[in-house]
Structure 1
């Protein structure tokens, strides 16, 4: 959905409130038409003609118009809230939907900082949307009232008011694209600064341990300086808004005053001149000022915020099988891949070459901390290698369409992610509208049927805090089984299950069409796999269980020290 479509949908969804808003706007805009008329008639027909009661009566009419405007303003705010708040709810729903979908697709917990930034964008969009509606409505009704009022007083004065107004509006509108670009750059700079500062704070201990204080401070300082320069550029451009306000709002007053002698010769009275100035000073200039401020700041913020929300919270579509850069017939290949957690740290993975055929079943074993989870994150595209290449379907992972990548592979970490909602919503989040029968089949295959019955079925609400770690893993495993992803990476995703439940889940994924990579928690995972990748910190060897028993001393040692059923049986 585009920004324009989203805004139009927000207005079209509440037609009754929109009509109510417009109707009460007439009452609120009453002084825009009445003020000049009342002042002119009070002066010409009342006080100048020695009829003070007539003059007071016209002033009473003006006072009544302001009372009506006050009542109308209250109703306008209520109607505006009925339009703006559902718009906010729609944006929040998009953010939550996109965030949960990506978290479920990748198996990772949502980035709380990114979610918080999106929520701030939602609040900014809500406030800006209400402000834009308010100022546009005020400007249109005020200008209409002023034009009708000036025409009623003396039509020849109207060009003196309208021509500067058109010039000021043209000047303002020409500056809007540049302001939008700078506002967009400022929001991106703010997000980049927030992310770099958060990363610095989270890694302060490591930064100090590595002696990288100056380098990190320099990197964060660059982000701060870039944000400051962008903010200064935007501030300089806002001077154009003041110029447009001066041309459209204050120049008409000077032109009317300069033309007063000619207007008087044409029959203009003191009341007509004063009434015209009242229209401009009390209605036109404030309305133009509100428009310049509202559209120039809030309007630009609204568009930029909505673009960010639509871009970053969009739910990834199903992966295409024919477009460039999209995996087709998944084949995972790592070529000379190295990765280290820091520029001065020892590589966790160094020069790794690995090929995983479509339909393969690979178990990854090795001591704790040797880099198995890092390998899973690299294979899933969650981490980028410092050197070498990770390819999916023959395409570098960083060139694969991100949405397609999220739908083409599933990574389930040790701590599985389950969100609040029904059990069915948790299970079906990655699938294309699975039927209850599909869910039953997946639950039966993975071993979640008993849990589904205990929770009360697929319509039952799920409280993640009320589930055990193993129960959360069963839900995540069933969700992954239902997904169309052909590459499934289980990063100790069954560690909280008992050996029998773990075996059942792994065998279900092995029988499922696609590729399975298991970061082994128990060595039985290696016995069930077609091939085994053994990581020992210096070398990585891959082969069948029998081949690894003969070729890898580490694998021999792991199997020799492991006490389990059929420890030496392939």
Structure 2
């Protein structure tokens, strides 16, 4: 039973270990070993200071040995500072892998449980990141210090080693036996919290129905029972955690008691000197007992929390598919464009919207209603309108991020809602206003999720979109982005635009994806996507984006209106005022045909 209870947490921890870079772990371990030098040398140097200095009548020599201990302690401070970059190299890939897992899980489920669940899972991802960082920062130092102290104890006074190791091993066995019940009970607390959140949310959402049916007492009793179950789970964790104090007493206090009792006999037999006894006491009091207490607290709390959180994440979010096998580096830069062009010629770039309607939860009026249009492969549509008219909502509906209340979106003649998430993503690429850049190399950011691209393809895409100088500043395709937050919003948008340009998706939707760029950079990026084989939909940030499009969809009262830039200047006073009466591109080629139904 204990083995079965430990399996879920072990599965999550194994998946954590699978995404952690091995080199970063070894570098972290190396600096941690340097950081543990004072724990290794403290007892040896104290014994030398006593036996060869103070007890031998040479205080200068004693102070010299203590000075060496001070120098080693200063070295520990330098090592502690050098540890943090390598700590980030271990923690950040974990965060990125968990984020990818959550996104894949959210997109792969046809009927997600809603924003509340996504928010809860996102909170668990951040919790896993913080717990991992805390464990590595704290337990790493304590664990290396404990091993170093035992090694130093063995070098200083081998006769006392059995008196220390036997209680320590017994303490370890007791602790491992306690882990199974602790994981199971901590997991029960997490499940109880989730049940309360879910049931309370449903009850609050249906308060009027509960009152109308007179079910207040029943709902109150149900929620009270859940709260009581949560309380019992917490008390159960407390009872199991209290047993940890036994492991601390056995592993931390019993060795000291055994050495104190045996010290007169060992000194009398000549097996230990007075200085060695002092050094042994230094190891036990300053290193061993604090380390056992700290490890029992950290592993019995933070490690259990991490195991439970990872277990919940692996259960709630399926793992994303493995990355595609990289193509040979000698692949020509035009191969991907040729494939896109072939796909567009075959009709895969068509986009048809039929009677689209969507209302946000709790809103009395629909954000969109009666929107319909058709774009043939190669078309260029701009979507404009006042703030709050549903432009970004339309982009999310086209990409399948939101599901319409009525109507449908057809990608290449197929209902987007019926397509599996990977197939839908292969047909349409969405670039949102706030671009996502993750810690990793530039190549990993640009090639996700479309697969491998050659350096020539990356260079061509960067040159066309306008991100070549940024890529050069970051160190080229193999340059590492250690802190994505250090990039400006415009730089993140340039990377996301280059990523979308490399995507094989024949339809690209730019949802104000250039809002953080200046007008010149925006013009260059949109011209690159307009020349790219496939269909382009731009949620316009500036009116110039609409002037460059084949057709413009205006979302405004009394209803959506689809026309050319020149025609909208005549048909819509709002559009004419925004464009300043300009009639640029009056005879733009007609790449889009359709109508926009009236708004109710």
Which bracket does the TM-score occupy, shorter chain normalised? 0.5 to 0.7
| TM-score normalised by L of structure 1 | 0.58
**Secondary structure of the equivalent of 2:380?**
helix
Where does residue 198 of structure 1 map in the other structure? 201
Cα distance in 1 between the residues matched to 2:396 and 2:19: 41
Equivalent residue, structure 2, for 1:397: none
Matches within 5 A, 1:362-381: none
- From the superposition, tell whether residues 84 and 216 of structure 1 become closer, same or farther in structure 2 (CA, over 3 Å): same
Match of 1:293 among 270, 291, 297: 297
- In structure 1, what is the equivalent of residue 411 of structure 2? 478
Q: Give the total of aligned pairs.
A: 359
Q: Residue deviations 1:16-56, cap 9 Å, x none?
A: 32232122112210111111112111112111122111111
Supply the distance in 2 between the matched residues of 1:187 and 1:32 (Cα, whole angstroms). 38
Gaps of 5+ in 2: 1-9, 322-341, 355-372, 383-389, 421-600
Cα distance, 1:88 vs structure 2: 1.0
1:389-445 Cα distance to aligned partner (Å, 9 max, x none): xxxxxxxxxxxxxxxxxxxxxxxxxxxxxxxxxxxxxxxxxxxxx966777176369
Answer whether contact 1:245 1:289 (CA < 8 A) is retained: yes
How many Å apart are 1:135 and its aligned residue? 5.0
* Contact 1:36–1:278, Cα closer than 8 Å, also in 2: yes
- Tell me the SS of whatever aligns to 2:265: helix
Mapped partners of 1:20, 1:239: distance in 2: 36
CA distance in 1, matches of 2:141, 2:126: 23
What are the superposed Cα offsets for residues 305-341 of structure 1, whole Å, 9 maximum, x if unpaired? 1121111121699xxxxxxxxxxxxxxxxxxxxxxxx
Query: 1:500 maps to which residue?
Result: none
Task: Return the index of the structure with the highest Cα Rg.
Answer: 1
**Equivalent position of 2:263 in the other structure:** 260
Distance 1:276 1:438, change over 3 A: farther
Contact preservation (8 Å) 2:135, 2:302: yes
**Cα contact 1:28–1:73 (8 A) shared by 2:** yes
From 76, 84, 89, give the equivalent of 1:82: 89
**Secondary structure of 1:36's partner?**
helix
Q: Name which of 328, 331, 351 aligns with 1:443.
A: 351
Query: Which residue of the other structure, out of 153, 158, 174, is the alignment partner of 1:150?
Result: 153
Aligned pairs for 1:22-41 (under 5 A) are 22-41=29-48
SS at match of 1:50: coil
Correspondence list, 1:392-403, <5 A: none
Deviation for aligned residue 1:299: 1.6
CA distance in 2, matches of 1:55, 1:316: 61
1:430-462 CA deviation, whole Å, 9 max, x = no partner?
A: xxxx96677717636976425973359xxxxxx
CA distance in 1, matches of 2:297, 2:343: 52
Q: Which residue of 1 aligns with 2:288?
A: 284
**5 Å matches for 1:316-395?**
none
Instruction: Find the residue that maps to 1:467 and give its secondary structure.
Output: helix
Question: Residues 186 and 51 of structure 1: is their aligned pair in 2 closer, same or farther, counting only changes over 3 Å?
Answer: same
Q: CA deviation at 1:147?
A: 2.4
Say which of 246, 271, 278 aligns to 1:274.
278
Paired residue for 2:379? 453
Q: Which moved more, 1:195-204 or 1:136-145?
A: 136-145
CA distance in 1 between partners of 2:346 and 2:304 (Å): 46
What is the RMSD computed on CA atoms of the aligned residues?
A: 3.2
Q: Output the CA distance in 2 between the equivalents of 1:89 and 1:234.
A: 31
Counterpart in 1 of 2:191? 188
Q: State the 1:250 CA deviation.
A: 1.2
* SS of residue in 1 equivalent to 2:348: helix
Once residues 165 and 49 of structure 2 are traced to their aligned partners in structure 1, the CA distance between those partners, rounded to angstroms, is 25
Instruction: Give distance in 2, aligned partners of 1:469 and 1:4.
Output: 35
Change (3 A) 1:31 1:469: closer
Alignment partners' CA distance in 1, 2:381 and 2:319: 28
Counterpart of 1:311 in structure 2 is 315
Q: 1:453 to 1:287 in 2, by over 3 A?
A: farther
Q: 1:92 touches 1:122 (CA, 8 Å); kept in 2? A: yes
Matched residue of 1:130: which SS?
A: helix
Deviates more, 1:179-188 or 1:42-51: 42-51
**Does the CA-based 8 Å contact 2:37-2:72 persist in structure 1?**
yes
In the superposition, the TM-score normalised over structure 2's length comes to 0.55
Alpha carbons 1:37, 1:149 under 8 Å: kept: yes
CA distance in 2, matches of 1:208, 1:121: 34
